[in-house]
């Protein structure tokens, strides 16, 4: 075996040690604990870390005995790793291989203290409280969304959930479905997942803060925010509200082609949907007092959710095209799949990537947050390096930047069908007649349209400069 072939694994899955440190065993025992609490990994003795030079182990039998004894006395519960004696390029290397375990958390024991470590990137760090809570629950085969509340199924309503389910599947929810979907127990107590789908969920963690900032950076909410909203409650409402906020604060372009036109929104609709869904179903609900943040800037959209990756890796270090799916909240994922909001095959990130070039979108995670950044496809930089967000649409007369996506499309429809009625517009855009009337009033106030003739028999005219 050669040294090159031995180390053909990811950097986060192994550590290199020149020799066994007996006086300071914590330096490597914490790594063994972190591997057991995470995805597993190996430590190799006899290889210098700083330059990966093979030095070998002079007394392998004694080294193995000391490693085994320290693991038995310094780690709880007991870990039984695989310890191997390898011949590499004519020298002896000791490998200790630790498998991921469902009996977590594991602790390093010293002076009566018990410390849990986890792997974050290529480092072994003390487990933060929210990760330790997840490890404790994983050791018991539990997840946050599966925990049982003291709320009876009969004491709450699910009109939003049931209506959405019927719209998406054309099926009606039966009372027994709440048990089969794991939203309630057999004795009709809600799980946390069930509570998140209830109409009046008041779970503190179930919130989304949305802000449209003026420019490229965050500032004072009262001075630098063009729009801000706070949403809480039912997670279906959260999903819809967040997507609506993004849409209302986005602009829309289109350009003509030989046989039609190409729509050019600031942010691809599929990418926005998948990013918001990802934030809702994969956030760490153990972290109380934290919420999902959606921050919109002139050039980008950032969606940040509490909690890093469930497998403790850093997503910026991963191959996104081969990324495996780890579900922190499996019940939420299952129900969202039933609602056809997502797939269970972990294809969400691939769908986001499909709408951008290799440089975008950008992903980041650490032990506390997960962030997806989407580029504004219509953002340009002019010759003077000043931000220049283009107009809402092209080829439609007189459309200023303040007009949102729907109003721009209304102008298109009025330009082609000036006699269209309010009710027909409402049906076309799938909104209420009251909403359409408000849009038309705003367009008239902006001096973009005028009414010719009566409300019943007249028509609309686009005002041109």
The enclosing domain of 153 has a CATH number of: 3.30.565.60
Residues 177, 294: one domain?
yes
Residues 151, 223: one domain?
yes
Tokens 């004694």 sit on residue: 62
Residues 134, 164: one domain?
no
Residues 113, 160: one domain?
no
pLDDT per position in the chain (465 positions), as tens?
788 777 775 545 788 999 998 888 998 999 999 999 988 999 999 999 888 899 999 999 999 999 999 999 999 999 989 999 999 888 999 999 999 887 889 999 988 899 999 987 778 899 988 889 889 988 888 999 999 999 999 999 999 999 999 999 999 999 999 999 999 999 999 999 999 999 999 998 899 999 999 988 888 887 789 999 999 999 999 999 999 999 999 987 776 666 767 778 899 999 999 999 999 999 999 888 889 999 999 999 999 999 998 887 889 888 887 777 788 999 999 999 999 999 866 678 888 888 787 678 999 998 889 999 999 988 874 333 444 433 333 334 344 444 567 888 888 888 878 888 888 888 777 777 778 888 888 888 888 898 888 776 788 888 875
| DSSP type of residue 1 | -
User: What Rg value do the Cα atoms of the chain yield, rounded?
Assistant: 28
List, in sequence order, every residue forming a beta bridge with 110; answer none if it has no partner.
113
Which among 269, 252, 270 has a CA at the least distance from the CA of 261? 252
Q: What is the Cα–Cα distance from 347 to 274, expressed in whole angstroms?
A: 9
Residues 238, 367: one domain?
yes
What is the pLDDT, as a whole number, of residue 358?
Answer: 65
3-class DSSP assignment, residue 71: helix
Q: What is the Cα–Cα distance from 129 to 287, expressed in whole angstroms?
A: 9
Residues 407, 291: one domain?
no
Residues 183, 299: one domain?
yes
Residues 171, 292: one domain?
yes
For Cα atoms 106, 112, 115, give the angle at the middle one, nearest 5 degrees: 30
Helices 235-248 and 269-282, axial angle in degrees (round to 10): 150
Beta strand pairing call for 82-88 and 14-17: unpaired
Domain-ending residue, one of 375, 390, 405? 390
The enclosing domain of 53 has a CATH number of: 3.30.950.30
Residues 266, 358: one domain?
yes
Q: Which domain holds residue 132?
A: 3-139
The enclosing domain of 410 has a CATH number of: 1.10.10.10
Number of compact structural domains in the chain: 3
List Cβ neighbours of 354 (8 Å cut-off, separation of 6 or more).
270
What is the pLDDT, as a whole number, of residue 412?
Answer: 83
Q: What is the Cα–Cα distance from 226 to 216, expressed in whole angstroms?
A: 12
Which among 305, 262, 300, 304 has a CA at the least distance from the CA of 286? 305
Domain-ending residue, one of 139, 156, 171? 139
What is the pLDDT, as a whole number, of residue 392?
Answer: 37
What is the pLDDT, as a whole number, of residue 258?
Answer: 65
Domain-ending residue, one of 139, 171, 189? 139
Residues 9, 151: one domain?
no
Predicted TM-score of the model (pTM): 0.71
Residues 386, 398: one domain?
no
Residues 86, 229: one domain?
no
């Amino acid at each position: 075996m050669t040294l090159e072939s031995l180390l053909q694994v990811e950097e986060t899955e192994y550590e290199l040690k020149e020799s066994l440190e007996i006086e300071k065993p914590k330096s490597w025992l914490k790594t063994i604990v972190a591997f057991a609490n995470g995805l597993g990994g190996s430590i190799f003795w006899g290889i210098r870390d700083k330059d990966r030079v093979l030095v070998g182990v002079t007394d392998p039998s004694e080294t193995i005995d000391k490693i085994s004894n320290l693991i038995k006395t310094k780690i709880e519960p007991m870990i039984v790793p695989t310890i191997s004696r390898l011949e590499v390029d004519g020298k002896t290397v000791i490998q200790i291989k630790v498998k991921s375990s469902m009996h977590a958390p594991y602790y390093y024991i010293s002076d009566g203290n018990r410390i849990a470590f986890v792997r974050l990137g290529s480092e072994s760090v003390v487990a933060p409280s929210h990760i330790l809570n997840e490890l404790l629950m994983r050791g018991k085969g539990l997840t946050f969304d599966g925990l049982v509340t003291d709320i009876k199924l009969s004491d709450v309503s699910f009109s939003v959930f049931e209506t959405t389910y019927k719209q998406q599947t054309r099926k009606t929810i039966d009372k027994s479905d709440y048990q089969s979907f794991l939203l309630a127990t057999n004795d009709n107590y809600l799980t946390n997942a069930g509570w998140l789908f209830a109409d009046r969920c008041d779970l503190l963690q179930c919130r989304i803060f949305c802000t449209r900032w003026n420019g490229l950076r965050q500032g004072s909410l009262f001075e630098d925010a063009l729009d801000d909203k706070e949403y809480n409650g039912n997670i279906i409402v959260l999903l819809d509200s967040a997507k609506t906020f993004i849409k209302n604060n986005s602009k829309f372009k289109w350009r003509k082609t030989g046989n039609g036109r190409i729509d050019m929104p600031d942010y691809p609709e599929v990418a926005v949907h998948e990013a918001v869904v990802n934030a809702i179903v994969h956030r760490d609900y153990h972290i109380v007092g934290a919420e999902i943040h959606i921050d919109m800037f002139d050039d980008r959209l950032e969606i940040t959710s509490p909690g890093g990756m469930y497998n403790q890796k850093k997503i910026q270090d991963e191959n996104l095209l081969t990324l495996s799916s780890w579900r922190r909240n499996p019940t939420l994922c299952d129900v969202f799949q039933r609602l056809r909001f997502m797939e269970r095959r972990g294809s969400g990130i691939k769908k986001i990537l499909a709408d951008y070039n290799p440089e975008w979108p950008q992903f980041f995670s650490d032990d506390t947050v997960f962030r997806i950044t989407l580029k504004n496809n219509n953002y340009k930089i002019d010759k003077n390096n000043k931000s220049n967000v283009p107009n809402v649409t092209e080829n439609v007369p007189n459309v200023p930047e303040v007009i949102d996506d729907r109003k721009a499309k209304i102008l298109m429809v009025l330009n082609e069908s000036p006699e269209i009625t309010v009710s027909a517009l409402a049906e076309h855009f799938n909104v209420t007649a009251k909403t359409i009337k408000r849009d038309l009033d705003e367009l008239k106030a902006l001096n973009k349209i005028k009414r010719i003739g009566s409300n019943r028999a007249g028509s609309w005219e686009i005002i041109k400069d």
